[in-house]
Amino acid sequence: MPILKDKFSSATGGLERMFQSKAPPLIGVDISTSAVKMVELSDRGNHMYQVERYAIEPLPRDSVVEGNINNLDAVSETLRRCHAKLGSSIRTVAIALPNAAVITKKIMVPAGLTEDEIEVQVETEANQYIPFALDEVNLDFHVLGPAPGSPDDVEVMIAASRKEKIEDRVAVSEVAGLKPSVVDVDLFAAQSAFELIEAQFSDRGKDQNIAIVDVGATFTNVNVLRNGQSIYLREQPFGGAQLTQEIQDKFGLSREEAEVAKRAGGLPDNYETDALNPFLETFGLEVARALQFFFTSTQFNQVHHIVLSGGCAALPGADAAVAKRTQVNTVIANPFANMALSSKVRPKNLAQDAPSLMVACGLALRRFDS
């Protein structure tokens, strides 16, 4: 894909890697607020994949805050431990920037331009939309295809990020002994993984509004897709850390103990009534609220499906709570549902962890770009 070489950093990392094709064998690495997640896939032919291995390693508290790496040493050490747990000989990785660290903008340019001519257009547009000097950012673009309703134009996606945001993620990866080959964006990586899920919907979701609701530790991100394109984004301050805090307060556990108990169980009988159910009720309300914002700010008045991702999506009853509150068909994200599994992967564990592995899966899929 085209590269604005004069605006980018070296091969050690930059958005010039975001749309790079034909990546070498690599591991998808998602550095979220609460954990590092790694996924390795292999190709079985005919667009069929196999999960070779995956690993999740919790991050120390406040080492990543709102997408920013606050403690490079702690994050590097967590990456090293996660890779050791993964047990892979591959050290080349695809990493992602948080959505908040990237400015994206769709523009239209005349069809038939050369790559060099598109580069000039992108530079001109970037100066209008990016509130930083171009020498402070890494910039990339990708031609999406013919512009809707304008046959003489094509749509181009521009993506830009401050160099320091990319350099932090590259640095922690390299200190951990890993080699970043691709830098993507959380949003785009999750959408890549979603393409493996949409086949379960009628007519593969064509002309349907599908909301991907990702519940992280502190924020919930809502991304509404229509025919593969994002038509609405919203971030709300609600996440799994609220349930973790409730477990700590009610049952006298440390944060680490509460996180383990939330995933593995073993809490007192009153956990569901006193902590889980109230949290799920609030979760359903937050999703319903996000959909109302979607309806009032777009021309659409319907969402056909909701796909829940993130760690909280695996909580028992999460899908039912959201479906009840929104009256919309709700499913739990599992991009691995139609993949083969190696002997190293336990199906039950993967099914539980799948909703939190959407970004890592999407990054791992970069290995098969053509």
- Find the CATH number of the domain harbouring 116: 3.30.420.380
Q: Considering its fold, how many domains does the chain have in total?
A: 2
Name every residue whose Cβ is closer than 8 Å to that of residue 289 and which is 6 or more positions away in sequence. 236
Q: What is the pLDDT along the chain (370 residues), one digit of tens a residue?
A: 333 333 333 333 334 445 454 557 999 999 999 999 999 999 988 878 999 999 999 999 899 998 899 999 999 999 999 999 999 999 999 999 998 889 888 889 999 998 889 888 888 888 888 888 888 888 888 888 888 888 899 998 888 899 999 999 999 999 999 999 999 999 999 999 999 999 889 999 999 999 999 999 889 999 999 998 889 999 999 999 999 999 999 999 998 888 888 887 889 999 999 999 999 999 999 999 999 999 999 999 999 999 999 989 999 999 999 999 999 999 999 999 999 999 999 999 999 999 999 999 999 999 987 5
Residues 181, 213 within the same domain: no
Residues 168, 251 within the same domain: no
Residues 213, 88 within the same domain: no
Q: Residue 339 domain-assigned? A: no
Name every residue whose Cβ is closer than 8 Å to that of residue 294 and which is 6 or more positions away in sequence. 211, 222, 224, 232, 234, 300, 303
Pairing assessment for the beta strands 220-226 and 340-341 based on DSSP bridges = unpaired
Residues 143, 261 within the same domain: no
Q: Tell me, what's the pLDDT at 8? A: 31
Q: Tell me, what's the pLDDT at 15? A: 44
Element (H, E) at 281: helix 277-297
Q: At what angle do helices 163-175 and 72-86 cross, to 10 degrees?
A: 50
Domain that holds residue 82: 5-190+356-368
Q: Are 363 and 95 in contact (CB under 8 A)?
A: yes
Residues 106, 185 within the same domain: yes
Looking at 76-149, which runs of residues are DSSP E strands? 92-97, 102-110, 137-147
- In sequence order, what DSSP letters do the residues of 162-203 get, joined into one string? EHHHHHHHHHHHHHTT-EEEEEEEHHHHHHHHHTTTGGGSGG
